[in-house]
A and B are shown apart, each in its own frame.
Chain A
Amino acid sequence: MRKLFCSMVLVCVLSVFMLGAEVTFWFAGGDPQLDLPIVKKQIADFEKATGIKVNLVVIPWAEDPHTKLDVAIMSGKAPDLAKVGSPREHALAWSKSVEPLEKYLPKDFLNSFSKSVLLGSTYKMNSPQELSGKIVGVPYFCHTRVVLYRKDILAERGLPEPSSNWTWNDFLEYAKRLTFDRNNDGQIDVYGFGASAQYAYQLMIWVWQAGGTMINEKGAPTINTEAFYKGAKFFVDLFRTFKVVQPGAVNANLADVRRQLVAGQVAMYIDTGDAGPALRKELGDKVGAVVLPTNPETGRRTSYYGADVFVIPSSAKHKEEAAKLLMWLCGKENMLEYCNVAGFVPSRTDAAEEYVSNDPIMEAFAQQMSDSNPWVEHPEYSAFTRIIKAAIQDVLSGKLSLEDGLKRAQQELEAHLKEKGYSW
């Protein structure tokens, strides 16, 4: 009897001890048939090498991992390490929910990352002060946007495949030539450019290329600037003046545009990394990729990149261990192995250099990374998205002129930011 009691106590103590050494890791996204097996393998290796147990929790994007993390942090159930979609780390930093990472990560480790990408996860607001200017997330990989196109439709219209130094004018020319009525029945069968204004970045890439921004150094929204207008005008003209954009683009889902490319109803569109393999499966060699066209005035061909970043919640119980796991997964070899499977560009410079896939589609993505912007690095990023998207959609629907639309967005944003206590 006593023996039983003793062993039960022992089991209890042991299990408490084991729990103490367990790192909980929330992984947003991931595909069980693609990248997750790699993550699992790397974690198993980590457990073997360090003796730290890891509890991996995968949260599909459709399950709203960001809300889930917010709720967990609020109720004191935060994981020790979490992978989130940038710029969520800025919103988490605003509420002091994540740790500044310089404390846990050695300098030479941080130096191995691309400067600009790391800057994207550096907190830029003045409050909370202890996080201002600190790195609040470590980027795992980036996924930028390039132009994907149908080689066969280009050939049908007698167009050569675009080169990486094509310009806005070339792009417009291509889009015009690729918008055509194939069987002369008076209906346009193919549209040159498949856009989807449901995504604000589809507008912002042109704005960035024209030199515009969403926000200036002082933190004031800059939607009504000359440069913003110029970039937005090019995008709007594709719809309203040149009519080279497929019907429904005002609120189309990107998946829909992708299908239309497969169906041969659009000839070019802008999309991210994991679309490449999927399109390849459907279209084989007929799909091509090229970096975005260059703005002849500014010489920029800026694209938008998203990044998945690691954060350590400030209420985490095992921060040191979490940092160890972070460094393990972001080691050169591991990151490279992961990115090769997932089809994203590694955020470490040394890994990115070796990320030479002989896949021409992936090469376009790697090339585009040299001129890519992250989404606005502001805790209120989703208000930026909502307000800009709504304004541009109203402009594209013909309910507002571009001037009025941008003015409205500027006013709404200023009011929103002031309400949240920001000033400039």
Chain B
Amino acid sequence: MKSQNWWLYVVKYLLVISACTFTLLPLIWVIVRSIEPDTGIESYSLIPRSITFENYPAAWNYPTVIDENVTLGTMLFNSLFVAGIVTLVSIFFDSMAGYALARKNFVGKKVLFWLALSTLMIPFYAVAIPMYIITIRFGMYDSLAALIIPFTASGFGVFMFRQSFLSIPADFEQAAKADGANDFYIYWRIMLPMVKPTVATMVVFKVLWSWGQFFWPLLVIQDYSKMPINLGLAMFRGHNITRWGLLCAGMIVATLPILVIFLMCQKWYVEGLSGGLKG
């Protein structure tokens, strides 16, 4: 019995460690490139030929030639700003809609729920052009608003919040109602705090999603001072030559903030998803 357990343990560690090697190996390659001198021709090796930290300041200051006032820091700030507002507002909007779909009885509820789900199914490239036209008609061309406003609600968020509100017992609501509290108060002060884990989950999802945007900012942003970091990284890829050292350094700089956010939310993250999946 004991020896069997021991074997299972070994197999478990072996599996997990090989999976981690699979996921981490390419990232080690990235880190190695970022501390190796950049020649314009990348190397396959996992061991650096020589070590330099020049790539980091070089990548940081790369955009200044195009616009003196812009560094990777500016773009990092833009990304953080956009991700922050998108996350805040969309969690608010999504949870409100999710609350109504979970807790209220009204005409067209089912239709609205399916409409929210159907937004998940729309391929972005399919609607990019009409969406672009609408966005610029609102006068949002070349402004951070164009990166924020269209994404302040998501079907996925509405869905997740609906599921987690469904799993909360009705007693809480009823007690508040008996006290004469209005609907917004119930939603805001009683219900929302109860789904904090879902909120944490959505923070991670939204930040990740907003951070990964590429094609949309490419269409609507022109000014370097308004560019998100993901678009900024494209500078290091030329027609023929890719500046790998700089790209990898830039990438690490761009990834660190999200890693921090993920680590901060990790504890709640798993818990939050389980709320959403109770159904």
Are chains A and B touching directly in their complex (CB below 8 angstroms)? yes
Give the interface size bracket for B toward A: 20 to 34
Partner of A32, one of B63, B222, B239: B63
Contact partners of A68 in chain B: CB under 8 A: 218-219, 222
**What is the CA–CA distance of A75 and B242 in the complex, to the nearest angstrom?**
32
In the complex, how many angstroms separate the beta carbon of A339 from the nearest chain B beta carbon?
16
A282 and B237 within 8 A (CB): no
**What is the CA–CA distance of A71 and B141 in the complex, to the nearest angstrom?**
11
A77 and B242 within 8 A (CB): no
A29 and B238 within 8 A (CB): yes
Contact partners of B136 in chain A: CB under 8 A: 75, 77
B219 and A71 within 8 A (CB): yes
In the complex, how many angstroms separate the beta carbon of A20 from the nearest chain B beta carbon?
19
A278 in the interface, Cβ–Cβ < 8 Å?
yes
Among B133, B141, B238, B239: residue with most chain A CB under 10 A: B239
A19 in the interface, Cβ–Cβ < 8 Å?
no
0/1 string, B215-239, CB within 8 A of A gives 1:
0001100111000000100110111
A36 and B65 within 8 A (CB): yes
Contact partners of A58 in chain B: CB under 8 A: 66, 224
A115 in the interface, Cβ–Cβ < 8 Å?
no
A60 and B238 within 8 A (CB): yes
Give the interface size bracket for A toward B: 35 or more
Residues 52-92 (chain A) with a chain B CB within 8 angstroms: 56-58, 60-64, 67-68, 71-72, 75, 77, 85
A64 and B237 within 8 A (CB): no
Task: Across the interface, name the chain B residue whose C-beta is closest to A71.
Answer: B219
A63 and B141 within 8 A (CB): no
A33 and B41 within 8 A (CB): no
A60 and B40 within 8 A (CB): no
B40 and A281 within 8 A (CB): yes
Residues 167-193 (chain A) with a chain B CB within 8 angstroms: none
B165 in the interface, Cβ–Cβ < 8 Å?
no
A277 and B40 within 8 A (CB): yes
B66 and A255 within 8 A (CB): no
0/1 string, B228-260, CB within 8 A of A gives 1:
000100110111111100000000000000000
**What is the CA–CA distance of A277 and B241 in the complex, to the nearest angstrom?**
11
In the complex, how many angstroms separate the beta carbon of A24 from the nearest chain B beta carbon?
9
Contact partners of A71 in chain B: CB under 8 A: 129, 132, 219
Task: Across the interface, name the chain B residue whose C-beta is closest to A272.
Answer: B240
A62 and B66 within 8 A (CB): no
B39 in the interface, Cβ–Cβ < 8 Å?
yes
A64 and B218 within 8 A (CB): yes
Residues 278-325 (chain A) with a chain B CB within 8 angstroms: 278-279, 281-282
Residues 49-72 (chain B) with a chain A CB within 8 angstroms: 58, 62-66
Known contacts: A32-B63, A75-B133, A75-B136. The answer to whether A255 contacts B222 by CB under 8 A is no
Task: Across the interface, name the chain A residue whose C-beta is closest to B128.
Answer: A71
Contact partners of A274 in chain B: CB under 8 A: 238-241
Known contacts: A31-B238, A71-B132, A278-B40. The answer to whether A36 contacts B66 by CB under 8 A is yes
Known contacts: A61-B238, A63-B231. The answer to whether A255 contacts B62 by CB under 8 A is no
Task: Across the interface, name the chain A residue whose C-beta is closest to B239.
Answer: A61
A33 and B241 within 8 A (CB): no
Contact partners of A259 in chain B: CB under 8 A: 41-44
Closest 7 CB pairs of A and B: A278-B40, A62-B234, A32-B65, A62-B237, A281-B39, A61-B239, A58-B66
28 A-B pairs within 8 Å (CB atoms) are namely A29-B238, A31-B243, A32-B63, A33-B62, A58-B224, A61-B237, A62-B234, A62-B235, A62-B238, A67-B219, A68-B218, A75-B133, A75-B136, A85-B239, A255-B241, A255-B242, A259-B42, A259-B44, A271-B240, A272-B240, A274-B238, A274-B239, A274-B240, A275-B240, A277-B40, A278-B39, A278-B41, A282-B41
Given contacts A57-B223, A60-B234, 7 further A-B contacts (CB under 8 A): A33-B62, A40-B65, A61-B238, A75-B141, A77-B141, A255-B240, A275-B241
